[in-house]
Structure 1
Amino acid sequence: TITADSNVGSCGFVNGQVDVSAFNSSTFVIVWGDETDDNYQYAIYDNTGSLILGPTVIYNVTDRTGWSSISVSAFNSSVFGVAYFDPDATTDVHYSTYTSSGTAISTANDLTSTEIVYSVSISALNSTTAVISYVDQTDDDASFQVWDYLGNQAVAETDIDTEVEISYQTSVSALNSSLFVYGYLDDFDNDISFGISYSNGSGYVSPIDVDSSIGTQWHTPVAVATINETLFVIAWWDNDGSNDISFQTYYSNGTAFSDVVDASDIGAEYLDVASYAASTGISICEDNETFVIAFANSSGGYIESYYSNGSMWNGICLETDPCICPGLNNNWEIGLSDNCYIDSDCDLGTGKLSFTGTGTATCGANIYTSSLGDPGSGGTLFIDSTCTIFVS
């Protein structure tokens, strides 16, 4: 565990007090609100936990109300954007951009100056533009804007939902350079909802209710994350008495992919999900089919990992080449559309061999495994004269 700041004060209820975004496979930026010093800060680390730059002050707060929300997203390997709620008297949403070397590109751009805003989220669409979401408490709207990294507004304030009441939760994630998903708490209807929009501001999928009975907590957390260009996950705290941390995956057209899955029955005021970043192309695994969900409450922090279909994932990424054995005691998932020809003996030990999709996989070698997976609908495993599959 790496401690970026050992004295930040109280975090409050807002989901977004701290956020991270990767530049590449070896470096990332972390941002947070420091209640003790009355400011927002960022720092850059490598993947060993060594500090590269910072901590650096993003913005000093002069009239803090106790609330804060901050979000970060990398445009590419050298530029990142930060959106944050300014709890000064003007209650603005600010947007700033920096290079990974610490140079400010554009700072403290005002997205709003009259609305009261408590929750902010940012996601880079590509290497030059980002979408910023927030809940406008003055008009009770769930809104977004699109800005470029130079500080120019590309799309003015646009509402996804015009009646969300006292909602302090919003989350946005780019599916690709022209499409993004916007998740939020609809406190008016006590729903967890999402909408999908184009980067030019026009709507693609009207708001869909994922859970229409989540209790009456206005700070019920919600988070969305892109899994790949056609799938995303939305997670939330189901505070209707069941006290579950739940999630569901969807296609980019708004159609459900997985069922609702309860990751935990431990209620949590803070949660987030992570998988794939459209702007940088960084994903947890190269197959872009996995995600992690993290949640925390007063008892501690928890992390769970899943496949996009809602099944548990062991956290081990598959080999880059699906036709190559991943090694002893590791699961081996072969996509039949890859038309694998397996020509080297493979001992999976306790690992499981499974097949997905349609197509063929031809085996010219011995495969030792404890259990053989179902080839799936339309899937076929051809065994030639030199191949034997042992199931112990």
Structure 2
Amino acid sequence: MSFKINPPHRAEHLGSLKRPQDLLKKRGEFDAKECTAEELRAVEDEAIRAIVQMQREAGIKTITDGEFRRHMFFDGVFDNMNGMKYIPEAPLQIFKDYVPDTSAFKKLAFKNAPTYLCESKLSRTQPFYVSQFEALKALTTPEEHSRIKITICAPEWYHLRHGEYAYPKSVYANDDEYFADVALAYQQEIQALYAAGCRHIQFDDPLLAYFCAESMIAGMQDAGLDPDAVLDTYIRAYNNCLKGRPTDMVVGLHLCRGNFKDGMHFSEGGYDRIAIKLFQQINVDGYYLEYDTPRAGTFEPLKYLPKNKFLVLGLVSSKLPELEDREVLKRKVHDAATVIASGEEKRTVEEALNQICISPQCGFASHSEGNNVSEDDVKRKLTLCVQTAKELWADA
């Protein structure tokens, strides 16, 4: 059994961590033009030093900066892409009702919302995440550099939520033309990250999980769209984004159903509807899957997982402070391994268990405000993942 992470880091986390109050305060001052970028950067650096130390103390091997330099988890790509225009108060009619999170926000009586729309040919004229990687390298030891993970935005982020409004037909004739330029930008960024020393990236993509939700499927069909064809377009986009990527760079794909403040989620539905395409057609090395509540469905879709990919089970909630039972977590991991072993590609339960890791179901702060967990809760949850992993795997 060969993995890009050899062996996989058995206890993972999903990137975003609880932001301290002094960082939130300083970012508010920066947004209000009450401090300089240098002053904000100094506070970010101090907060990241502390959160890196917390990861070390919890026993987490994969290191991230907690996404402390971002407001939202999807920041980085389209806000830096040449050809995209920031719309501070976009009319709600350009947000598609069939997308679960936009539908939820409309029900909250939002009148308009900020977004980005394509206005001309897209191109990467500046780095997306390289500076964040370099800054984290400067705050970690040389021994940790190969274990730094950078989380990145899903390539279809604005396309799904805006549909026909995503780009002008005078700029791109069709979706494949649009995504060809998006993919080229991602290819360039991945190569630049690799040149800087990055060996581990993770796409954060709640949108793919929306294709598990019957509400979106029905809504797309009502709008005259073929959901399966749209999903196929996104799979082609992913594979084109990853074309030519270095063979020793680990690429993971994280799916969840929403991780907004106060534990708000946006969709429900198991992975059954997309499992074959998700596991067998997208050219990533592994998957980080939400599995902390019944809304994610059963482990049954895991029977389609190939032998050469790893799976990170998100069994620990990042939305609630209550600590999960370690014995229950171990039992769930064994249950998942049993399903994988009995799948299309037969393998022993031990072999299937070797493909699995454990993590929280999502990040602890997908947006700046975060969820109702404290910094201490975060450390306890990550420590729980590490302790559980050590009891499950000898190489943890």
TM-score surpassing 0.5?
A: no
Higher relative contact order (CA 8 A, sep 6+): 2
Question: Higher helix fraction: Structure 1 or Structure 2?
Answer: 2
TM-score (norm: length of structure 2): 0.29
Q: Which structure: larger Rg?
A: 1
Question: Higher strand fraction: Structure 1 or Structure 2?
Answer: 1
